[in-house]
Structure 1
Amino acid sequence: MSEHTVRSPLPGVFYRRPAPDQPPFVEEGGTVSADQTIGLVEIMKQYQEVKAGADGSLSAFVVEDQAVLGAGDPVATVEVG
């Protein structure tokens, strides 16, 4: 098995939920598809979806919810295979 690192597409604040009263997009250990949204990055009230980028199991988030990210920073790892 190999690992895929999900990276932030832009700088901003990372959110694991679509809204504060909603469940997370995906939990650690959950199965994901490459085009599945696993979080959002917000900058200046604009939101960009963060996609898994690979089919597999989301093994871990490497940042906390509401963490400040730079472009290209690692967000999560997906176990592929």
Structure 2
Amino acid sequence: MATEYVAAPMPGVFYRRTAPDEPALVEVGDEVSEGDTVALIGVMKNFHDITVPSDGVVADILIENEAEVEAGQDVIELTIDG
């Protein structure tokens, strides 16, 4: 098994949910498929999907909900079969 990190594509605010009253998009232990949206980045009231590049399992969520992130900062850790 290998570890892969999903990085923020731009600076902004990291959101784990699509709306405050919605459940988190993913939790630790969830299986994800390539292209799945696992979080959002909010920039000036626009939201951009963070998607996973590979099939895998969410091993860790490295950023708290609504925390500021920098471009290129790792936000999700995946375990990849490989």
TM-score bin, normalised by smaller chain: over 0.9
The separation in 1 between residues aligned to 2:44 and 2:20, in whole angstroms, is 18
Q: Indicate the residue corresponding to 1:2 in structure 2.
A: 2
Q: Indicate the residue corresponding to 1:21 in structure 2.
A: 21
The percentage of counterpart residues that share the same residue type is 37
Gaps of 5+ in 2: none
Q: Does 1:62 align with 2:62?
A: yes
Amino acid at match of 1:8: A
1:54, distance to aligned residue in structure 2 (A): 1.3
Q: Deviations over 1:3-56 (max 9, x none)?
A: 110000100000000000000111111000110000000010011000021101
Q: Which runs of 4+ in 1 moved over 6 A?
A: none
TM-score (norm 2): 0.96
Aligned residues: 81
